Amino acid sequence: MNPKITYSLFILLAIIGTIILGYFTQQNEFTKIALGYGLMWIFYIFAIKKQSDSSPQWKPKISHLIFFGIFLRLLLIPIYPPLSDDYFRFVWDGYCNSDGLSPYDLKPEDFNAEQLGDNYKIIYEELNSKIYYSVYPPLLQSVFTLSAWLFPKNLLGSVIVMRLVLILFEIGSIFFISRLLKRFSLPDWQVLLYALNPLVIIEISGNLHFEGMMIFFMLGSIYFLSKIPFEENTNTHFNKNHFLSASFLGLAAGAKLLPLMFMPIFIQKIGWVKSIIYGCVVGLVFLLSFFMLWDIELFLHFKESIRLYYQSFEFNGGIYYLLRKTGYLFRGYNEIAYIGPGMAIISALSIILFSLKDNNKNFARIPILFLFALTIYQLLSTTVHPWYIAPFVALASLTRFRFAILWSGLILLTYINYSNQPYYENLWFVALEYILVIGVLAWELKNKQKRIITNKTEKT
């Protein structure tokens, strides 16, 4: 068959899959989720395989496929998020902010039903976190507020504003990945690992998860650091690109707190002196982004909600589930209050140790180190939702590791839990997911070690 016709058919599958997921699927309809994602993944695998193939057979330009990835995101503009109800809380927080109320000062349950305006009443019953203060940082609150201010009486209008903001961040992320691939001398087609990834498209542009904002700022921090010539990085001068990189990382942490875990990585990359200055800039930008929490009482409310999240919630936590089972066997109850913080401490110490051990000053190592810092953290987390893997895909596109791409497909199996009535988590699927991901990760690390040994042998 003509390769252009073949490609067109696969493109059609991706469009159909996106429409099925966006327009005809709810969170508890796993058959439709599997069908929609399945069609998108068929195209994704086909496109990546063709673009990575060095044969002279016809294939579309990478820029055309990037535009197609953006087109799939734009297809989702006029819909409510199909597989998540978190957006109700986003809009609720936006309404509070635009009305001069702080979502860090009042829980939704604190509102008297008679005091609620019609716009609040529409979404109150849909909230999944009525008993908590908001856990969303002020940088996200600014987007929520903008959407509520523009459409104070129109829920879909607010959703569309947030989606357009996220799509703009996605376009920026694709730009940064394209530039970084050139700087790191990696194949330019690898940008498609992110631009066309089904999980990234649906979870960020479709389900409105603000990992998309964090990813943009995280990639920006790597990009500006990569612009520093090696000889300039060996001196103690802290230049404009150091400052811009640190500012972007501070904003990434302002969107989602996770990027703060990357700080130890810079000690070996830019040296102790510049790392201290870099950390101060990150900290200053981060604190400035938290302008809504400068009141100590509001900050304590936010901190309390974060603490409850880490000590109360559990979903798809592979290693945690093994420890939870051990707790039941020996203590007779769930020890998440101790296991959650304990695993977070182990995660932090592990990231610090491997960061200090890596003394390669090549900035191309940074995406790898970021990727493995996130991997350690999520493997030891109590809660791993599908959208948490989106940053993995962005970082994997800047490396030769592919376990994260596999994870972005396997984690979609967790949606089967929402179709169980009553709800329960199928631990067989969780086991399959983690066994395969950890197995592929181990295989890739082993192969990488073999290549290092082979290269050393050839040099001698």
The tens digit of pLDDT for each residue in 421-454 reads: 888 899 999 999 999 999 999 999 998 776 655 5
Q: Which residues pair with 401 in a beta bridge?
A: none
Rounded CA separation 32/38 (Å)? 9
Contact 259, 253 (CB under 8 A): yes
What percent helix, strand, coil does the chain show, rounded to 5? 75, 0, 25
Percent of the chain whose pLDDT exceeds 90: 65
Query: What value does the mean pLDDT take over residues 214-229?
Result: 95
Q: For residue 6, count other CB atoms closer than 10 A to its CB.
A: 13
- pLDDT at 329 exceeding the cut of 80: no
pLDDT at 358: 84
Report pLDDT digits (tens) over 12-47: 999 999 999 999 999 999 999 999 999 999 999 999
pLDDT at 453: 57
Residue 187: inside a domain:
no
- Note the pTM of the prediction, 2 decimals: 0.94
pLDDT at 269: 86
pLDDT at 50: 93
Query: What value does the mean pLDDT take over residues 283-297?
Result: 85
pLDDT at 48: 96
Residue 333: inside a domain:
yes
Residue 451: inside a domain:
yes
Report pLDDT digits (tens) over 365-385: 999 999 999 999 999 988 999
Rounded CA separation 28/381 (Å)? 24
Query: What value does the mean pLDDT take over residues 382-402?
Result: 96
Nearest Cα to 364, choosing from 397, 403, 399, 396? Answer: 399
Rounded CA separation 200/374 (Å)? 16
Residue 435: inside a domain:
yes
Q: For residue 183, count other CB atoms closer than 10 A to its CB.
A: 14
Among 62-71, 105-114, 183-192, 307-316, whose mean pLDDT is lowest?
307-316
- pLDDT at 232 exceeding the cut of 90: no
Which one has a higher pLDDT value, 230 or 280?
A: 280
422 cis-preceded (ω within 30 degrees of 0) = yes
Nearest Cα to 135, choosing from 164, 92, 176? Answer: 92
- pLDDT at 150 exceeding the cut of 70: yes
Q: What does residue 116 show for φ and ψ, rounded to 5 degrees?
A: -70, 135
Residue 257: inside a domain:
no
Contacts for 66 with CB less than 8 Å, ≥ 6 apart: 174, 178, 191, 192, 195
Query: What value does the mean pLDDT take over residues 151-177?
Result: 97
Q: Is 109 helix (H, G, I), strand (E, B) or coil?
A: helix
Query: What value does the mean pLDDT take over residues 217-237?
Result: 85
Rounded CA separation 361/233 (Å)? 9
Residue 246: inside a domain:
no
The boundaries of the domain holding residue 396 are 316-460
Mean pLDDT in the chain? 90
Q: Which residues pair with 383 in a beta bridge?
A: 315
Query: What value does the mean pLDDT take over residues 218-235?
Result: 86
Which one has a higher pLDDT value, 66 or 113?
A: 66
Angle at 189 between CA 232 and CA 388, to 5 degrees: 80
Q: Which residues pair with 315 in a beta bridge?
A: 383
Report pLDDT digits (tens) over 135-145: 999 999 999 99
10 Å CB burial of residue 451 (0-12, 13-18, 19+) is exposed
Percent of the chain whose pLDDT exceeds 70: 94
pLDDT at 332: 72
Rounded CA separation 303/325 (Å)? 28
Residue 294: inside a domain:
no
- pLDDT at 213 exceeding the cut of 80: yes
Contact 59, 164 (CB under 8 A): no
Q: How far, in whole angstroms, is CA 121 from its chain's centroid?
A: 31
Residue 40: inside a domain:
no
Rounded CA separation 163/78 (Å)? 9
Query: What value does the mean pLDDT take over residues 63-77?
Result: 98
Which one has a higher pLDDT value, 332 or 122?
A: 122
Query: What value does the mean pLDDT take over residues 165-178?
Result: 98
Query: What value does the mean pLDDT take over residues 190-198?
Result: 98
Query: What value does the mean pLDDT take over residues 205-232?
Result: 93
10 Å CB burial of residue 55 (0-12, 13-18, 19+) is exposed
Q: Domain total for the chain?
A: 1
Contact 208, 159 (CB under 8 A): yes
Per-residue pLDDT band for 455 (boundaries 50, 70, 90) equals: low
Q: Is 315 helix (H, G, I), strand (E, B) or coil?
A: strand
Rounded CA separation 201/72 (Å)? 7
Helices of type H across 151-239:
155-183, 192-195, 198-200, 211-226, 230-233
